[in-house]
Amino acid sequence: MAEISSRVSTALADRYRIEQRLGQGGMATVYLAQDLKHDRKVAVKVLRPELAAVLGADRFIREIKTTANLQHPHILPLFDSGEADSFLYYVMPYIEGETLGDKLDRETQLSIDEAVRIATEVADALDYAHRHNVIHRDIKPENILLHDGRPMVADFGIALAVSAAAGGRMTETGMSLGTPHYMSPEQATADKDLTARSDIYSLGSVLYEMLTGDPPHTGSSAQQIIMKIVTDDVKPVTQTRKSVPPNVAAAVEKALEKLPADRFGTAKAFAEALSDGTFTSPGVAAPAGAFDATTRGPAWRVVTAAAGVALLAGIVAGWMLRPVPERPLRPVQFFIKSDSVHLISTAAGVALSPDGMVLVYGARTGSGSMLYRRRIDELEPQPIPGTENAHSPFFSPDGTEIGFEDPAYGGVRSLRRVRLDGSPPRTITAGYEGNVLGADWRDDGRIVFSTWLPSHVYTVNADGGPAAFLEPLESVADSVPIAGPIFVDDDAIAFASWGLDTRIGVVSLRSEVVRWLMPGSGPHYLASGQLLYVGDDGSLFAQPFDVAKLDTAGTARRIAEGLAFGLGGETVLAVSSSGTTITYGMAGSEGRDLVLVDRQGKEQVLLQDGGFWVPRFSPDGRRIVYGQTGGDEDIWIHDIVRNTTTRLTLDGLGNNDPVVEPRRQERRVFPLLQRQGSLRALHNRGDPQSPRCREWNAVD
């Protein structure tokens, strides 16, 4: 970095004297400099060398000229631009003050009057630029400078210049234009034809943060934020700040509509709504059945409605798991269901305390997802602080703590632990490879856990330290992913294969001998000498097990039916140490429905009683492509207009997660993620032999 700064100083020495570096962003490094010709302080922004190499000087300079003539009291003007020693740079006034981002970092929230004033003045600047056919594309608090309290929008049109100069090759730089928290949905989905309404969405996001203290969507990674922008509804500002006037709340809501056509037509209209006390309409809903051909998506949103319950927790009497009962007890069962503000995510996994009294599971709320705990003798679940976006929970032997995976803590995957008394979480280990597929915590402090993509099995001490490969199972993991490893005793571990062919296995840590026992998944060992597992038909079995021989010892008994399976054949199952309490996810008795919901809340059921997975619209909004779970797993296409359904893939081998190719004129491929570890793009006639069919390794 010092070498680059020295080169920049030398390259610009005839015009500007570089005095210090002010900061660095995604596209450029900013320097404070003295303009030698005009004897004034300026801010010199130098594009990152790798970006400059892709753009080329001539076209960048030609494109940036379109923004040089913008003259507005709330737009920071462009003084100069050029190339020097392969560096591309542009020069703007140096403003003594702070950015809106700095102010929000310090104050978190602004007064309503100040927030509305800033947004109104920025909207005035946007309206001026839009009327001159210039779209900013990167409105965010860091690009709004405050000079004596007056907002000045910086970098106006720079993102447009960079995008145009790149000629559609931005992906070669490994960078994207825009800041995730403030991107419009069409910008987040890489729509090249952005309109002024994209800037209006971004300004709405900035105003939302000024009023509430947070952007409309937050997350632990850019990918997570973008997914929320595209799929999740924005929580009304009045839920966080009740004092926001109705017209301001309505204006923010309209500015943040997902469809560009539903937002304000101009930035001026947005500003007028903020000052109009009578403005109350959040937008105009499209007529039923209508599709907006001018936008990236249709005027509907598609959902899959689960008809079955999410979790069944039962106090299963000891007579169900003991050969000779002394006193049969009647089993007691209760259900835990999702509601409108608490959507249970069985994919995050469930855990049950050793005494069977506390259930931990993942759930999504309006603000994201986290782990929740619920005592079986209480009605309401409680969130576990510090477990945002966590999954794969597992209990400590004494039941006072849970371990879990945080997929992005400190920028890397981390296995963490947290006490249920509200103490802050702490890290067990971090930086391992793959996504956790289950873990178990032994009373001597050992933890065993498995991962997928890549497939590994690790051991680590609960007090912290590096994770080490569990060598006896590494050779197995090389050929098939391992899920849900659990200690049978100090020297043996049971596990299940993960994928299309699920089997229960056991390994001796002393002899390193691996034995496959039976088809099934979700093994749990009980102190009573039984191995619980889920059969291929969704039944829960109790199998007598001889620990000394590491082998079955009698006939398995069916103790429950109707358990749900995940995409990898895994089950949602948690068992207390004694086996007196079992929690499991149930398959919906009525399947799931594929439903269209318009903006007025009117529902239209397209298909019923199926395992619909990741439905996606075609670019014209006339068709829906989706995966099918349960039985043959293939990709299907449903034509909404003709009410016909066509099968795209024919092998039934775990095809899922369809993503429609975004180009409108070439609706020809659907990338499909196969559970067997490859990513394919098929011609829409489903011909895997087509020369336009490509395949990639999913690890890549």
Catalytic positions: 138
* Per-residue DSSP letter, 551: E
Beta bridge partners, 127, equal: none
DSSP for 446-476 reads: EEEEEEETTTEEEEEETT----EE-HHHHHH
Q: What residues have CB less than 8 Å from 595, skipping those under 6 apart?
A: 302, 303, 304, 305, 603, 604, 605, 606
Task: Please tell me the number of Cα atoms within 13 Å of 118 on its side-chain side.
Answer: 35
Helix (H, G, I), strand (E, B) or coil at 143: helix
Residue 49: strand, helix, or coil: helix
Residue 698 tokens, joined:
């999913």
Instruction: Give SS3 for 2.
Output: helix
Closest alpha carbon to 332 in 346, 312, 350, 352: 312
Q: In what order do the strands lie in the sheet with 446-452?
A: 435-441, 446-452, 456-461, 468-469
Question: What SS3 state is found at 123?
Answer: helix
Helix %, strand %, coil % for the chain, to 5? 20, 35, 45
Q: For 255-283, b where at least 16 C-beta lie within 10 A, e where not — what string?
A: bbbbbbebbbebbbbbbebbeeeebeebb
Q: How far apart are CA 478 and CA 495, in angstroms?
A: 15
- Rounded Cα distance between 437 and 247, Å, is 48
The single-letter code of the amino acid at 408 is: A
What tokens does 392 get?
A: 């794969």
- What is the rounded distance in angstroms from the CA atom of residue 213 to the CA atom of residue 215? 7
CA angle, 293 as apex, 291 and 295 as ends, to 5°? Answer: 100
Rounded CA-CA distance 408/406 in Å is 6
Supply 380's token pair: 């309401």
Backbone angles phi and psi of 290, in degrees to 5: -85, 150
Instruction: Determine how β-strand 80-84 pairs with β-strand 87-93.
Output: antiparallel
The tokens 């490509």 sit on which residue? 694
- Reduced to 3 states (helix: H, G, I; strand: E, B; else coil), residue 52 is helix
Q: Could you tell me whether strands 368-375 and 382-383 are parallel, antiparallel, or unpaired per DSSP bridges?
A: antiparallel
Q: Which of 613, 621, 614, 618 is nearest to 662 (CA)?
A: 618
| Other CB atoms within 10 A of residue 367 CB | 15
Residue from 374, 355, 350, 332 nearest 573 by CA: 350
**514 near 496, Cβ under 8 Å?**
no
The residue with tokens 């490994």 is 174
**CB crowding 206-219: b at 16 or more within 10 Å, else e:** bbbbbbbebbbbeb
Task: Quote the CA–CA distance of 248 and 278 in Å, as a whole number.
Answer: 10
